[in-house]
Amino acid sequence: MYTQCPECMSVFAVDARTLAQAHGFVMCGHCGAGFDSISTLADQLPPEPFTELPSHEPGVEPPHVELVVYRPKPETEPDAATSETQAAQDAFADLIVTPRFAREQRDTRARRWPWVLACVALLLGLCAQLAWALRDTLVADPTVGGMLRQACAALNCRLPEVRDVAQLHLLARDVQTHPTVPGALLISATLRNDAPFTQPWPVVTIRLSDANGKVLAMRRLNPYEYLDDTEQLRQGLPPGASTALIFEVEDPGRKAVAFDLSFE
């Protein structure tokens, strides 16, 4: 027997076992298209040259088969109602049988899902690790940092502190003899945070030098040494905020005629 693929017009020889495996539904070995082999099934090929095998139009009623080859005798004769019910069930079962290739595709998709989920989970974990490694850059970025701050405000969380001393600018400074402590100097400075994010209070380094630029004294002050307000120390320096800082240092003598401040 012969059948023809409707897509690439290839003609194949088939047998009864091949047709019975999926109730006539086969896959073309040339183009991979699935088609109903029974619609063009022929016992013999027409004379060449030919293009298409004749197509069998479905009949209104199924044909009757008359020539009985073999019929086993049942042990007990079922009644007519049982026979009709069983016949209807068998016919319905034939209609809903899933072809083997469809079952295989469904099983393949079902087995693929755990791998897809595992890959997605690994990708999310990699993105989280990358975001944590680049957290300072992301928080400092005006666009991404703003989005992160809005998200944290909605979720009531807190972003990690980012330090960028290049965005800390000294607006004014002054030094004078301490009014109440002998042998001490009182240094004041006005600091502004020009970063678009809150920064932790910096470590301030004060250097006193002579007229030749030689450093006579140096003091490195941590935030808790020049800030008494614990809450202010915890909150950090907000973006765009300015603040006045006061430092008390020992007077190195009359040779100290210049001073400078740096931040870490």
pLDDT tens-place string over residues 192-239: 999 888 889 999 999 999 989 899 889 899 999 989 888 988 888 998
Measuring CA to CA, which residue among 9, 8, 7 is closest to residue 53? 9
Res. 141 pLDDT band, cuts 50 70 90: low
Q: How far apart are CA 55 and CA 64, in angstroms?
A: 20
What angle (nearest 5°) sits at the alpha carbon of residue 170, between those of residues 177 and 167? Answer: 150
**Whole-number pLDDT of residue 96:** 47
Q: How far apart are CA 125 and CA 232, in angstroms?
A: 35
**Whole-number pLDDT of residue 100:** 55
Which amino acid is it at 77? E
Average pLDDT of the chain is 79
Any idea what DSSP says for residue 182? T
Domains observed in the chain: 165-263 (2.60.40)
CB 161 within 8 A of CB 200: yes
CB 167 within 8 A of CB 194: yes
Per-residue tokens: 65: 């088969």
Res. 256 pLDDT band, cuts 50 70 90: confident
Q: How far apart are CA 227 and CA 222, in angstroms?
A: 9
**Whole-number pLDDT of residue 193:** 94
**Whole-number pLDDT of residue 75:** 66
Any idea what DSSP says for residue 229? -
pLDDT per position as a tens digit, 40-57: 888 888 888 888 888 876
Q: How far apart are CA 236 and CA 161, in angstroms?
A: 9
Helix-strand-coil split of the chain, %, nearest 5: 35, 25, 40
Average pLDDT over residues 151-172: 79
Going by their DSSP bridges, the two strands 204-209 and 184-193 should be labelled as unpaired
Q: Using a pLDDT cut of 90, give the percent of the chain over it.
A: 18
- Pick 7 or 110 by higher pLDDT: 7
pLDDT per position as a tens digit, 93-134: 544 455 555 555 666 666 777 777 888 888 877 766 765 566
Strand partners, 126: none
Res. 66 pLDDT band, cuts 50 70 90: low
pLDDT per position as a tens digit, 173-205: 999 999 888 989 999 999 999 988 888 999 999
pLDDT of residue 242 exceeding 90 = yes
Q: How far apart are CA 25 and CA 101, in angstroms?
A: 10
Measuring CA to CA, which residue among 245, 172, 157, 258 is closest to residue 215? 258
Q: Phi and psi at residue 80, in whole multiples of 5°? A: -65, -40
